[in-house]
C-alpha cells in the first residue's frame, strides 16, 4: 500500500503540470502587450473579452477549437503506441477537400437525415489514406513515421493546391478556392445569438467515443501496452506492426474529419489558405494531453481561445497576432522542461 501511495505521489502532479503551464504561459501576455505600447491590463481584458465577452465571441472560440480537437485526437491516438504523427496538417486539408467534393457533387443525398455524415466519412477516408501510407511504411519497412508524415504533409498540401487552383476552382472567384458546398450538407450553428457550432458537438461526441475505445477497451489496453513494451505486447498476442499501421491510419482519419468538419461547418469551401496551422497547433494539444483522449478537448479549447484572442488583440490594440500565437508554444516548453527534469532526477536516484 505504501508503494502505491508513493507512485501516486510521483505521477499525479505530472498531470497537473500541463494545466499549470497554460496558466503560466498567460503571464507572457504582459511583456508582449507592453512591447506593443499598450496597457497589459487592457490586453488581458481584450484577450478574455474576445471569447467570453459576448455569446458570439464564445461561439467563434468553439469554432476555432473544432479542428484542434479532431486533429489533436489524430496525434494523441498514435502517441498511445509510441508513434508521432506530424502529418495532421496534410491530413486535415485532404480531408477538407474530400468533404467539399462530396458537398459539391453529391447533392442527391444532401436532403437525407444526418447527411453531414457523408462528407465527414469521405474526409476520414482521405485523411486515413495518408495516415495509412505512413503506417504501412512504419509497420512493414521500419521507416520512421516522423519523416514520412512530415513529407506526406507536403504531398497533401500540394495536392489540394493543385485542385483548388485548377480543376476544382470556382470560376466566379478571383482567388483560389472551390465552389461552395450544398447547404443541406452544412453543420449549422445553434443557440441563436450564441451561434454555437454544431460541429463542436460532433467533435466532442467523437472525442468521447475515441476515449471509450482507447481507455476502456481491451484493444485500447493493448495499444497502450504496445507503446510501453512492444515485446511484452507481442507475448500477449498483439500484432505490433499492424497496431502501428492501424494507429497511424486512424490518426489520419481523425485529422481528416477535422478538416471536413471545418469545411462543412464553417468555411463551406476549401482554398489555399484553408488552415492557419491547425495541424501544427494540434501537436501541442496532443503533447499537453499526454495521451489522454478526453484531455484533448480542454487543451484544444485553450488554443482556440488564443487563436480567437490573437485576432482581436491585433485589430483592437495593434499587437501582432503572430506574437500572441507564440503563447501556444510556451506551455509545451514549460511541460517538457519540468517533466524532463523530473525524469532526470528519478534516473539519478536509480
CATH for 254? 1.10.3470
Q: Evaluate whether 300 touches 68 at the Cβ level (below 8 Å).
A: yes
Q: How far apart are CA 153 and CA 91, in angstroms?
A: 7
Any domain includes 241: yes
Grid cell listed for 161: 493546391
pLDDT at residue number 13:
55
pLDDT at residue number 7:
44
Tabulate helix, strand, coil % of the chain (nearest 5): 75, 0, 20
DSSP state of 82: T
Any domain includes 144: yes
CA angle 260-261-265, nearest 5°? 120
pLDDT at residue number 10:
41
Any domain includes 1: no
Any domain includes 322: yes
Residues 93, 95, 96, 100, Cα dihedral to 10°:
140
pLDDT bucket at 6, cuts 50 / 70 / 90? very low
Q: 34 — alpha (psi -120 to 50), left (phi > 0) or beta? A: alpha
3-state secondary structure of 7: helix
Any domain includes 294: yes
**Beta bridge partners of residue 341, listed in sequence order:** none
Percentage of residues in the chain having pLDDT higher than 90: 54
Q: How far apart are CA 303 and CA 54, in angstroms?
A: 18
Any domain includes 47: yes
Res. 5: pLDDT tops 60: no
Which helix or strand (DSSP H or E) is residue 138 part of? helix 117-141
Any domain includes 70: yes
Q: Range of 41's domain?
A: 19-349
- The domain tally of the chain equals 1
**Beta bridge partners of residue 190, listed in sequence order:** 196
The residue written with cell numbers 501544427 in the block is: 280
Any domain includes 184: yes
Amino acid at each position: 500500500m505504501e508503494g502505491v501511495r508513493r507512485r501516486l505521489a510521483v505521477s499525479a502532479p505530472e498531470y497537473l503540470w500541463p494545466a499549470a503551464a497554460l496558466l503560466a504561459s498567460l503571464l507572457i501576455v504582459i511583456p508582449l502587450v507592453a512591447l506593443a505600447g499598450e496597457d497589459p491590463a487592457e490586453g488581458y481584458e481584450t484577450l478574455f473579452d474576445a471569447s467570453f465577452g459576448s455569446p458570439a465571441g464564445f461561439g467563434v472560440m468553439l469554432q476555432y477549437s473544432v479542428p484542434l480537437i479532431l486533429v489533436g485526437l489524430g496525434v494523441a491516438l498514435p502517441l498511445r503506441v509510441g508513434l508521432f504523427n506530424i502529418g495532421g496538417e496534410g491530413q486535415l486539408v485532404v480531408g477538407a477537400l474530400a468533404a467539399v467534393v462530396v458537398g459539391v457533387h453529391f447533392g442527391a443525398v444532401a436532403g437525407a437525415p444526418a447527411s453531414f455524415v457523408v462528407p465527414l466519412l469521405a474526409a476520414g477516408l482521405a485523411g486515413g489514406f495518408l495516415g495509412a501510407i505512413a503506417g504501412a511504411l512504419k509497420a512493414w519497412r521500419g521507416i520512421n513515421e516522423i519523416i514520412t508524415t512530415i513529407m506526406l504533409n507536403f504531398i497533401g498540401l500540394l495536392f489540394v493546391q493543385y485542385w483548388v487552383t485548377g480543376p476544382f476552382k470556382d470560376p466566379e472567384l478571383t482567388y483560389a478556392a472551390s465552389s461552395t458546398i450544398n447547404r443541406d450538407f452544412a453543420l449549422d450553428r445553434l443557440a441563436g445569438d450564441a451561434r454555437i457550432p454544431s460541429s463542436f458537438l460532433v467533435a466532442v461526441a467523437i472525442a468521447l467515443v475515441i476515449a471509450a475505445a482507447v481507455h476502456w477497451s481491451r484493444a485500447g489496453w493493448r495499444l497502450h501496452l504496445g507503446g510501453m513494451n512492444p515485446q511484452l505486447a507481442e507475448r500477449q498476442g498483439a500484432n505490433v506492426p499492424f497496431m502501428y499501421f492501424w494507429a497511424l491510419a486512424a490518426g489520419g482519419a481523425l485529422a481528416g474529419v477535422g478538416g471536413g468538419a471545418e469545411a462543412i461547418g464553417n468555411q463551406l469551401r476549401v482554398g489555399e489558405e484553408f488552415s492557419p496551422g491547425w495541424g501544427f497547433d494540434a501537436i501541442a494539444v496532443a503533447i499537453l494531453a499526454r495521451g489522454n483522449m478526453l484531455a484533448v478537448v480542454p487543451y484544444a479549447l485553450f488554443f482556440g481561445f488564443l487563436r480567437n484572442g490573437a485576432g482581436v488583440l491585433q485589430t483592437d490594440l495593434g499587437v501582432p497576432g503572430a506574437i500572441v500565437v507564440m503563447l501556444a508554444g510556451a506551455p509545451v516548453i514549460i511541460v517538457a522542461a519540468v517533466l524532463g527534469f523530473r525524469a532526470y532526477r528519478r534516473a539519478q536516484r536509480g
